[in-house]
Homo-oligomer: A and B are copies of this chain.
Amino acid sequence: MRIVITGGGGMLGQMLARCLIARGGLALGCDRSPALGEIVLFDQNLQRTRVDDSRVRCIEGQVTDRTLIERTFQPGVDALFHLAAVVSAGAELDFEQGMRVNVDGLRTILDACRRLGAGTRVVFPSSVAAFGGELPPVVLDTTGATPQSSYGTQKVIGELLVNDMTRKGFIDGRSLRLPTIVVRPGKPNLAASGFMSSILREPLAGEPATCPVAPNTCMWILSPQRAVDALIHAMELPAERWGWNRTLNAPGITVSVEHALETLKHVAGERASALVRFERDPAIERIVLSWPARFETARATRLGFRADGGIEDIIRAHLQSS
């Protein structure tokens, strides 16, 4: 079994690779061996990537580089996790770059998968940014996607392509709308939601952090480990369990900034929570407030996806892994 992870140099990509190595592969059914032969980490920058295993191969390049992509997706590739993306604040700052990577890059990659054969499994992480505008108080599985950011727009376009190419029998794709990942380890990225990790991660490491939104701001979140589990589960679920609709709202929990900071105080003391300073940033606030924070994810629960127990579990898991 050969697995490609684009964005494989990122936080989630590396965690996913380590998890796949620990599990020894993927159970994809059919006549495919579950034993891991190779994991390809594809990213524009793999300098700081550390996944130590002889079965890991690194390919540095752009998802928009058609020649390199075609060389990467040779027969023998069974599964793709397409994590490479220009993230929310990045796609909002540079519309063209977002379109190039998040739409054209995806198309190049899906075309390459299509040439491998109909059975090639593709997991495409989408986002709560698929939703925006005037929403019901709780987003349901049937709530229509109305993105209010270029990132969200590009993610929904990706979902549509994955769905249609699956329907056509070109690939076997699955899109998973992930909540905001908290606590992201490592350095902040350009995601507008990054502060929700910073206000926990930095104080836990004795560093100051800035919160750009009001304390009562609520977010729909999932821990990195649960996100990795969800991506693998999305990949392993048989096609017939997915059915005609290849887009799914992943489960998560609703947490306010206020409640996250209270829990931080409870877990790490007042000295930690006092390191967080509020300084509103209208650009960040506009994007984050357009995302819904409350979901009812009945379909995901039925399909066996699981959220975290609560923000305290998430903070303690972060402490344990860092």
A164 touches B150 (CB 8 A): yes
Q: Report if A278 contacts B (CB, 8 A).
A: no
Q: Report if A133 contacts B (CB, 8 A).
A: yes
B133 touches A150 (CB 8 A): no
Q: Report if A301 contacts B (CB, 8 A).
A: no
A148 and B160 in contact (CB under 8 A), knowing A133-B245, A244-B133, A245-B133?
Answer: no
A153 touches B147 (CB 8 A): no
B150 touches A156 (CB 8 A): no
Q: Report if A142 contacts B (CB, 8 A).
A: yes
1/0 per residue, CB under 8 A from B, across A121-160: the answer is 0000000000001101000001111111010010011001
A144 touches B142 (CB 8 A): yes
Q: Report if A19 contacts B (CB, 8 A).
A: no
Set B144, B168, B244: member contacting A143, Cβ < 8 A: B144
B164 touches A147 (CB 8 A): yes
A interface size (C-beta, 8 A)? 26
| Contacts from A to B (Cβ < 8 Å) | 95, 99, 107, 133-134, 136, 142-148, 150, 153, 156-157, 160-161, 163-164, 167-168, 170, 244-245
> What is the CA–CA distance of A133 and B160 in the complex, to the nearest angstrom?
13
A145 and B147 in contact (CB under 8 A), knowing A95-B168, A133-B245, A153-B161?
Answer: no
Q: Give min CB distance, A80 to chain B, whole Å.
A: 19
> What is the CA–CA distance of A150 and B163 in the complex, to the nearest angstrom?
10
B168 touches A147 (CB 8 A): no
Q: Give min CB distance, A242 to chain B, whole Å.
A: 12
Residues of B within 8 A of A163 (CB): 147, 153
